[in-house]
């Protein structure tokens, strides 16, 4: 005889209302059951499935089950392997607690899932530039996706980061020229997840004429990226060993990307972008140490006397100065959250787009000068672009 909790699982899956189930506390300690199993809906080429994600101590495995078989598998796991489960639906979060005889206690709380998961999944995948279920060759080679287009469990954060970046790029593509080949520079490219993603979006999917240059100080990383670009057939993607401040190979660039360039290396990249007349700048700063040593103000002493608070304030002040200086030069600037702060505190992205006829803003310059004087700071970006400020600058 089917118990009430079993029938509810059958109904939730049948209606596409199970957003996620987390199974825990294995009945046996012999290792036959994963310490934790997570089930979620996933859209594949041949329709809606439920992905069973088994979390063992040293590995994570997946099994994609058809919608018709998912309820049977889930009920079987609960009856045989687990003492506890949390199931999220549009109407409630349901906790199942099993005693030694296998009898279930059912506890229901207000829902946190919010909506029908299958519908949400379809909408989310349409919005993502790199949809799960459709393998992107560079993601497969970088170990983020399987050849079948499934994202590895341990790479979910990186997958979301890449998509978030591409969404931010897509929002400003209208500012890039369309009548000629684009030149894009990625300073401090590292392993180049985002560089490859950018090339895939623009050159492969949108068939734009582009060339991208990735620059990094680490020769071994550049060798790896160059080899991968060749393997993928990305013939307009070049990787070079070099320092941002010393790079003088270009006279102009349409877009400049810099991800986690340390301290004033971010300023060097921004200065290069401005001098090249870049239409789009995407910068995620890192390790803003410079102003920590400079900032001082008696009024702010309760804040600045605490090292941790001063460090965070100095980082914010650094990026505020950078953004305002770009606005002085006619850029439209937005400060955006790049990734969930749960994963990294270095999650602020400066996105700047150049207006058609940039005009130096004296009002923004005056605003910046007051800010600078109030904090007793002299940011590197101001010095690097000294010849561009209004004549009355000090």
CATH number for 207? 3.40.50.150
Give the mean pLDDT of 351-370: 89
d(CA 223, CA 229): 10
Which pLDDT value is given to residue 196? 94
Q: Are 281 and 176 spatial neighbours (Cβ–Cβ below 8 Å)?
A: no
Say yes or no: 354 and 229 in one domain: yes
Q: Is 43 a domain residue? A: yes
Say yes or no: 108 and 178 in one domain: no
Give the mean pLDDT of 51-61: 85
Say yes or no: 196 and 100 in one domain: no
pLDDT confidence tier of residue 195, bands split at 50, 70 and 90 = very high
Give the mean pLDDT of 65-91: 91
Q: Is 393 a domain residue? A: no
State which of 91, 107, 127 marks the end of a domain: 127
Q: Which domain holds residue 27?
A: 4-127
d(CA 369, CA 15): 60
Say yes or no: 56 and 179 in one domain: no
Say yes or no: 153 and 87 in one domain: no
Which pLDDT value is given to residue 1? 60
State which of 97, 127, 157 marks the end of a domain: 127
Say yes or no: 120 and 235 in one domain: no
**In this structure, what are the phi and psi dihedrals at residue 63, rounded to the nearest 5 degrees?**
-145, 120
d(CA 21, CA 28): 20
State which of 104, 127, 150 marks the end of a domain: 127
Say yes or no: 343 and 213 in one domain: yes
Which pTM does this prediction carry? 0.67
Say yes or no: 295 and 169 in one domain: yes
Say yes or no: 75 and 14 in one domain: yes
d(CA 130, CA 374): 45
Q: Is 53 a domain residue? A: yes
Number of structural domains the chain divides into: 2
Cβ neighbours for 132, distance < 8 A, ≥ 6 positions apart: 42, 43, 125, 145, 149, 150, 151, 159
Say yes or no: 115 and 245 in one domain: no
Q: Is 132 a domain residue? A: no
Say yes or no: 103 and 226 in one domain: no
pLDDT confidence tier of residue 178, bands split at 50, 70 and 90 = confident
pLDDT confidence tier of residue 383, bands split at 50, 70 and 90 = very high
d(CA 182, CA 212): 8
For the record, the structure tokens of 252 come out as: 């102009």
Q: Is 394 a domain residue? A: no
Task: Tell me the C-alpha to C-alpha distance, in Å, between residue 372 and each of 117, 248, 308, 361.
Answer: 49, 30, 21, 16
Q: Is 190 a domain residue? A: yes
Give the mean pLDDT of 285-302: 92
Say yes or no: 143 and 121 in one domain: no
Q: Are 107 and 148 spatial neighbours (Cβ–Cβ below 8 Å)?
A: no
Q: Is 353 a domain residue? A: yes
């Amino acid at each position: 005889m089917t118990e009430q909790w079993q029938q509810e699982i059958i109904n939730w899956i049948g209606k596409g209302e199970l957003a996620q189930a987390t199974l825990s506390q294995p009945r046996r300690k012999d290792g036959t059951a994963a310490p934790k199993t997570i089930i979620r809906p996933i859209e594949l080429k041949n329709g809606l499935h439920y992905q069973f994600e088994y979390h063992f101590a040293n590995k994570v495995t997946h099994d994609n089950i058809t919608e018709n078989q998912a309820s049977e598998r889930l009920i079987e796991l609960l009856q045989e392997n687990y003492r506890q489960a949390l199931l999220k639906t549009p109407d409630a979060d349901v906790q199942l607690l099993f005693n030694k005889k296998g009898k279930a206690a059912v506890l229901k709380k207000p829902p946190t899932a919010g909506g029908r998961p299958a519908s949400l999944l379809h909408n989310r995948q349409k919005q993502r530039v790199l949809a799960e279920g459709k393998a992107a060759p560079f993601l497969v080679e970088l170990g983020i996706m399987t050849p079948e287009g499934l994202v590895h469990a341990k790479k979910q954060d990186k997958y979301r980061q890449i998509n978030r970046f591409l969404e931010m790029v897509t929002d400003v593509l209208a500012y890039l020229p369309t009548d000629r080949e684009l030149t894009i520079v990625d300073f401090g490219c590292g392993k180049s997840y985002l560089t490859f993603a950018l090339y895939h979006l623009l050159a492969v999917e949108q068939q734009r004429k582009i060339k991208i240059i990735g620059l990094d100080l680490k020769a071994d990383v550049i060798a790896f990226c160059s080899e991968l670009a060749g393997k993928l057939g990305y013939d307009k993607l070049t990787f070079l060993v070099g320092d941002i401040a010393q790079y003088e190979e270009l006279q102009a660039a349409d877009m400049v990307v810099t991800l986690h360039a340390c301290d004033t290396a971010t300023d060097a990249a921004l200065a290069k972008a401005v001098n090249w007349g870049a239409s789009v700048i995407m910068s995620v700063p890192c390790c803003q140490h410079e102003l920590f040593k400079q900032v001082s103000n008696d009024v702010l002493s309760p804040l600045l006397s605490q090292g941790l608070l001063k460090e965070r304030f100095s980082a914010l002040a650094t990026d505020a100065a950078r953004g305002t200086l770009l606005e002085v030069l006619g850029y439209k600037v937005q400060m955006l959250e790049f990734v969930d702060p749960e994963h990294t505190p270095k999650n602020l992205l400066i996105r700047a787009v150049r207006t058609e006829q940039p005009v130096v803003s004296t009002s923004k310059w005056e605003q910046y000068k007051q800010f600078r004087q109030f904090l007793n700071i002299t940011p590197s970006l101001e010095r690097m672009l000294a010849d561009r400020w209004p004549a009355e600058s000090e």
